[in-house]
Amino acid sequence: MTQLPPLNALRAFEVAGRCLNFRLAADEMGVTQGAVAQQVRLLEAHLGVQLFERLPKGLAFTATGRGCHAHVASAFGELRTGTATLRPDPGNVLVSVTPTFAAKWLIPNLPAFSEAHPDVDLRILATEKLSNFQGDGIDLAIRQAQPPFGASLEVFRMFRQDVIAVAAPRLLAASETPQDPAVLERLPKLHDAHNLWPEFLKRVGLEDRSGRGLRLSQAALTIDAAVAGQGVALADRFLAAREIEAGQLLQVTSASLRGEQDFYLLADRRKKRRPTVEIVFQWFVSKAEAASPGGDGRLSPSGTA
């Protein structure tokens, strides 16, 4: 491996190349003009090339120096970006959520959060992948899961899993009433990765007479497909609430499926939360409590409320 030049010399060259003046570079670096000039001469000697033309009122790149500076400046830019991630901004809060939760609940509620807390820079990581508080640098996470949880986690149950069947009103014939279970048999089914249709139909004592249905990877997509009139979807009640309230979807049958995969707000118990993280945590708690007062709450690591 080719030996790298001294870092101090590279730094002096990077700053001097931006300023094209040793004095201005010295002011930025907090050293003397002579020290900057010496570091640049050291780098030129190490490389065996001249990087600057010394002019009466400043510097000018040589052809070699200009090309070299572009690479050195880019490298220092990457170093700045990398070290910035190690020194998190206290105003930033990174929350890991599933794509469906982000699309159907969090994003519609974000304007209210931004209005109430304009100084908090809330950043959303939407992923199905399990996030790690230490390795991924996240502050909070919301996941659909089942207790028990690890002792290192503080857990708040936001929403219970209450699955209902929803479809666009235009999908039903004029003579049909939404609460007639027989309607559900003939409607095309929209499937997601949770595959709850067999259990749901068994619960209501029906068979699927609609044939093969559309299969999608995320629950949010099945809700969107249902709004588009492509079939009936199974959705958590709180995730489809906006579309139901807007008249885009209706509940096809009064039956529901109480699942064991509830939605939980998770935080790392081992470290003290920054004030901005606490603001976001309490906002999630207040929104969940407003939606289902008395129905949810903090859990111990074992999963008991």
Asked if residue 2 is part of any domain, the answer here is: no
Q: What is the mean pLDDT of residues 288-294?
A: 75
Among 122, 64, 67, 102, CA closest to 277: 122
The domain that holds 23 is classified in CATH as 1.10.10.10
pLDDT at 300 over 50: no
State whether 126 and 242 are in the same domain: no
**Alpha helices, DSSP H only, in 143-274?**
181-186, 197-204, 219-227, 241-245
Detail the DSSP E strand segments found in 62-111: 92-97
Residue 293 three-state SS: coil
Query: What is the rounded CA–CA span in Å between residue 93 and residue 276?
Result: 7
- In the block, tokens 């080719």 appear at 2
Asked if residue 70 is part of any domain, the answer here is: yes
Last residue of a domain, which of 45, 60, 84? Answer: 84
State whether 278 and 153 are in the same domain: yes
Rg (C-alpha) for the chain, rounded Å, is: 29
Lowest-confidence segment of 19-28, 33-42, 254-263 by average pLDDT: 254-263
pLDDT at 92: 86
Asked if residue 1 is part of any domain, the answer here is: no
Lowest-confidence segment of 54-63, 83-92, 139-148 by average pLDDT: 83-92
pLDDT at 193: 85
Per-residue model confidence as pLDDT tens digits over 107-143: 999 999 999 999 898 999 888 887 777 667 889 999 9
| C-alpha 196 chain-centroid distance | 26
Residue 16 three-state SS: helix
State whether 70 and 142 are in the same domain: no
34-66 b/e (C-beta count within 10 Å ≥ 16 → b): ebbbbbbebbbeeeeeebbeeeeeebebeeebe
Query: What is the rounded CA–CA span in Å between residue 235 and residue 256?
Result: 10
State whether 177 and 157 are in the same domain: no
pLDDT at 55: 93
Lowest-confidence segment of 139-148, 180-189, 211-220, 246-255 by average pLDDT: 180-189
Last residue of a domain, which of 61, 84, 107? Answer: 84
A 10 A CB-CB count for 197 gives: 19
State whether 15 and 30 are in the same domain: yes
- Give helix 7-19 / helix 22-29 axis angle, nearest 10°: 120
The domain that holds 143 is classified in CATH as 3.40.190.10
| C-alpha 167 chain-centroid distance | 29
Query: What is the rounded CA–CA span in Å between residue 162 and residue 16?
Result: 64
Domain of residue 22: give its range: 7-84
Asked if residue 304 is part of any domain, the answer here is: no
Query: What is the rounded CA–CA span in Å between residue 49 and residue 65?
Result: 8
Pair 36, 15: CB distance under 8 Å? yes
Asked if residue 105 is part of any domain, the answer here is: yes
Residue 143 three-state SS: strand
Query: What is the rounded CA–CA span in Å between residue 273 and residue 112?
Result: 22
Pair 212, 191: CB distance under 8 Å? no
pLDDT: which is higher, 204 or 280: 280
State whether 188 and 177 are in the same domain: yes
State whether 12 and 75 are in the same domain: yes
State whether 182 and 143 are in the same domain: no
Asked if residue 305 is part of any domain, the answer here is: no
Last residue of a domain, which of 58, 84, 110? Answer: 84
Asked if residue 221 is part of any domain, the answer here is: yes
Per-residue model confidence as pLDDT tens digits over 255-273: 899 988 899 999 998 888 8
State whether 55 and 104 are in the same domain: no
State whether 173 and 62 are in the same domain: no
Query: What is the rounded CA–CA span in Å between residue 115 and residue 128?
Result: 28
Among 104, 129, 98, 117, CA closest to 265: 98
State whether 269 and 156 are in the same domain: yes
pLDDT at 302: 42
Asked if residue 276 is part of any domain, the answer here is: yes
- pTM for the full predicted model: 0.66
pLDDT at 78 over 90: no
Separation of first and last alpha carbons in the chain: 59
State whether 44 and 117 are in the same domain: no
Query: What is the rounded CA–CA span in Å between residue 55 and residue 222?
Result: 68
Total domain count, the chain: 3
pLDDT at 102 over 90: yes
Query: Across the chain, what does the average pLDDT equal?
Result: 86
